[in-house]
Amino acid sequence: MSTRPIGDYAMLSDCRSAALVTSDGSIDWLCLPRFDSPAVFGRLLDDDAGSWAIHPTGPAEVTRRYIEDTLVVETTFQTRDGTLVLQDALALGRGERGHELGRSSPGLLLRRLTCTQGRVPVDIVYAPRPEFGLVRPLMHPVPGGLIARGGTDVLTLSSPVEFRVNGSIAHAAHTLRAGQSLSLALQAGPAWGPEPPRRTSRAIAHRIHDTVRGWRSWSRTHADYQGPWQRQVNHSGRVLRAMTYAPTGAIVAAVTTSLPESIGGERNWDYRYTWIRDASFTLHALNTATCEEEETAFFTFLSRASATQVDAEPDLQIMYGIGGERDLSERSLPHLRGWRGSAPVRVGNDAWRQHQLDVYGELLDAAHRTYRDIGPFDPLTRSLLVGAAETAAHRWQEPDQSLWEIRGPSMHFTHSKLMCWVALDRAINLASTLGATSRTADWIRIRNEIHAAILTYGWNEQLGAFTQTFGGTHLDAAALMMPLVGFLPPDEPRIRSTVQAVATHLTDARGLVHRYRSADGLPGEEGTFLLCTFWLAHALALTGLDTEARRTFETVASHANDVGLLSEEADTATGEAIGNFPQALSHIGLINAARAIRDALR
């Protein structure tokens, strides 16, 4: 089974697919041609599921970084006899600059080694395993590289050095001296089509340079945030861009599947999809990180993917595939042992079938955040948004599964009622834009009913906090959303008391926040949730506790790895990264909390 720490990985992206590379030069995760495609390299989830390792033959001291303003990774190996620099990238489209999509070579993985001092013997081990490790392809050398066939794909490895093939593993050894370089590239194509072309070392070096320029071009137009943690905010904006599926504007929640919320447990989900739940958080973060084009594209994707008659079955889905797909049926891959034995490994996510009332509020809030930027809504979008408001008005009293997708019985979750209030509040503000002024009086009446119900049934006087469910006794970090969405003023005593209750009772010794501590129908306990800790920092800033807000922010931001990537959770025992990685919501939380603290200080 795979035991590599999750925090040891850096992400590569071409805004269509993603790869994860270890600090010592092994590509352990690569899905082609899309984020949600089957993995070609899957060692992240099982040692036998494929990888591509490049490293010095002997021991070395290792440092790495993203080349400034890019997602091109540069790893430096300092050996006894010399220095080796490895650059890794997923190629952006040829000539791609800013938001202009270049001529694309989807899924072109580039690797270039340069010896800058002395001499360094290098080992290269190439073991592709398409379809999450099910396929052990047939490989044979060809001039300028290797061809691997098996399953739906043909893989072309471009290399100036010869490989020895042993079954479905290829090995090469080569020594580089000061000033010498070695360039390799991997590209997949359909098995029934022509083999992807082999590329020269010069062409590979040029595409790496072009990819660096492409990322820097984008970064130059998205670095306007001024304030504390500017570097982290700008980097997180770049990470969100990297997790955007450029053809549609969809943003994946993470680029991985089945990295567990508890080590050895079964809380293992596929996050390579787009959640409506994340929409308003995401759009606020994109606005802060000055990603206006991504903001517009993301809302356009949401409105088109979710277009349906939402006042009739089926309900508005909580999530969609990155191409707008609706059927995301879940299945297990029993041949994979999972990260540190955390099984089952899943692809697909059956949460798409869940009934969650909060999505109506998140969709309307997303529309409210973007309508000034994207211009008048088209008739179909207006119809969708009015339907979402009507559904929230009609169904707010129903139980559901909550934003945390609890796989137990439906309950009356306070946060779900809150987001129905948000749906109507935003719809009222948008009524003239939506051509729905005739509905305003009813929407105001029902909005006030929801408000009164939350104050009556969601508040627990003994706890001094709003609770997870109506009439309940458990806390939920989702209550921190109340001041963030404007349900009550931040200085209202019940808001201050709720924020303090979360800080006191849901925060562990490391200063990180649990989502909740109540039973959720699954065995085992999850770690602390980085997004919820950023929410706490955000709420503390809104309530005027600037010092506490900064301290909380610094605590959670320190859990980024050496290249600034944040996981979903942190293990309560060790503090190490767990959960799917990198996690978009964690970077979104960082951006939004940094802005809130900056504004509070001003």
Examine residue 314 and say whether the peptide bond preceding it is cis (omega within 30 degrees of 0).
yes
Clarify whether residues 466 and 540 are in a common domain: yes
User: Domain with 570 in it: what CATH number?
Assistant: 1.50.10.10
CA dist 411 and 417 (Å) reads 11
* Lookup result for tokens 């603290």: 597
pLDDT number for residue 313 = 43
pLDDT number for residue 523 = 61
User: Domain with 110 in it: what CATH number?
Assistant: 2.70.98.50
Q: Which long-range contacts (CB under 8 A, 24 or more apart) does 150-154 make?
A: 150/191, 151/191, 152/190, 152/191, 153/32, 153/40, 153/188, 153/189, 153/190, 153/191, 154/188, 154/189, 154/190, 154/191, 154/193, 154/195, 154/196
Position 220 in a domain: no
Clarify whether residues 390 and 493 are in a common domain: yes
Clarify whether residues 377 and 486 are in a common domain: yes
Q: Above 90 in pLDDT, residue 260?
A: yes
Total Cβ atoms within 10 A of residue 602: 6
Span 414-436, average pLDDT: 95
CA dist 565 and 559 (Å) reads 9
pLDDT number for residue 351 = 86
CA dist 152 and 499 (Å) reads 52
DSSP code for 468: S
Clarify whether residues 289 and 430 are in a common domain: yes
Query: Where among 186, 214, 242 does a domain terminate?
Result: 214
Torsion sign, CA atoms 226, 231, 232, 235: positive
Are 168 and 141 within 8 A, CB to CB? Answer: no
DSSP code for 521: S
Position 72 in a domain: yes
Domain count, the chain: 2
Position 14 in a domain: yes
pLDDT number for residue 289 = 61
Position 144 in a domain: yes
Asked which of 67-76, 347-356, 415-424 is least confident by mean pLDDT, the reply is 347-356
Q: Above 70 in pLDDT, residue 311?
A: no
Are 256 and 339 within 8 A, CB to CB? Answer: no
Query: Where among 165, 182, 214 does a domain terminate?
Result: 214
Q: Is 522 helix (H, G, I), strand (E, B) or coil?
A: coil
CA dist 291 and 28 (Å) reads 30
Clarify whether residues 505 and 574 are in a common domain: yes
- Give me the percent of the chain exceeding a pLDDT of 70: 94
The Cα-based distances of 111 to 21, 27, 89, 518 in angstroms read 11, 10, 7, 47
Clarify whether residues 436 and 468 are in a common domain: yes
Write the secondary structure of 2-67 as one string of H (helix), E (strand) and C (coil).
Answer: ECCCHHHCEEEECCCCEEEECCCCEEEEEECCCCCCCEEECCCCCCCCCEEEEEECCCCEEEEEEC
Instruction: Name residues whose C-beta falls within 8 Å of residue 7's C-beta, 6 or more positions apart in sequence.
Output: 561, 565, 567, 576, 577, 581
Beta strands in 128-214, from DSSP E residues, in sequence order: 138-142, 145-150, 153-158, 164-166, 169-177, 181-190
Rounding to the nearest 10 degrees, give the CA dihedral for residues 340, 342, 345, 346.
Answer: -130
Beta-ladder partners of 188: 155
Higher pLDDT, 267 or 158: 158
> Is residue 569 within a helix (H) or strand (E), and if so which, with residue range?
strand 569-570
| DSSP string of 297-363, one letter each residue | HHHHHHHHHT-S-TTSSSPPPSEE-TTS------EE-TT---BTT----EES-GGGG---THHHHHH
Instruction: Calculate the average pLDDT of the chain.
Output: 91
Asked which of 183-197, 290-304, 410-424, 486-500 is least confident by mean pLDDT, the reply is 290-304
The 10s digit of each residue's pLDDT in 265-309 is: 788 999 999 998 877 778 777 776 656 677 778 888 887 887 766
pLDDT number for residue 521 = 60
Q: Above 50 in pLDDT, residue 133?
A: yes
Clarify whether residues 303 and 399 are in a common domain: yes
CA dist 362 and 364 (Å) reads 6
Higher pLDDT, 361 or 277: 361
Position 586 in a domain: yes
Clarify whether residues 539 and 400 are in a common domain: yes
Higher pLDDT, 1 or 551: 551
Clarify whether residues 450 and 476 are in a common domain: yes
CA dist 285 and 278 (Å) reads 11
Position 284 in a domain: yes
Clarify whether residues 187 and 327 are in a common domain: no
CA dist 473 and 465 (Å) reads 9
Tokens matching residue 157 = 């490895």
Clarify whether residues 260 and 200 are in a common domain: no
Range of the domain at 390: 230-601
Q: Considering only CA atoms, which of 66, 150, 159, 79 is closest in space to residue 120?
A: 79
CA dist 474 and 493 (Å) reads 19
Asked which of 138-142, 164-168, 220-224, 362-366 is least confident by mean pLDDT, the reply is 220-224
HSE-CB at 586 with a 13 A cutoff on CA atoms is 29
Q: Is 247 helix (H, G, I), strand (E, B) or coil?
A: coil
What burial letters (b/e) apply to 372-399, b meaning 16+ CB within 10 Å? eebeebeeebbbbbbbbbbbbbebbeee
Position 452 in a domain: yes
The 10s digit of each residue's pLDDT in 35-58 is: 999 999 999 999 999 999 999 999
Quickly state the pLDDT bin for 314 (edges 50, 70, 90).
very low
* Lookup result for tokens 């989900």: 269
The 10s digit of each residue's pLDDT in 364-404 is: 988 888 877 666 788 888 888 999 999 999 999 999 988 88
CA dist 252 and 585 (Å) reads 10
Position 252 in a domain: yes
Q: Considering only CA atoms, which of 225, 328, 272, 344 is closest in space to residue 17?
A: 272
Query: Where among 214, 245, 275 does a domain terminate?
Result: 214
Q: Above 70 in pLDDT, residue 360?
A: yes
Span 147-152, average pLDDT: 91
* Lookup result for tokens 């409210």: 368
Clarify whether residues 66 and 172 are in a common domain: yes
Span 441-467, average pLDDT: 97
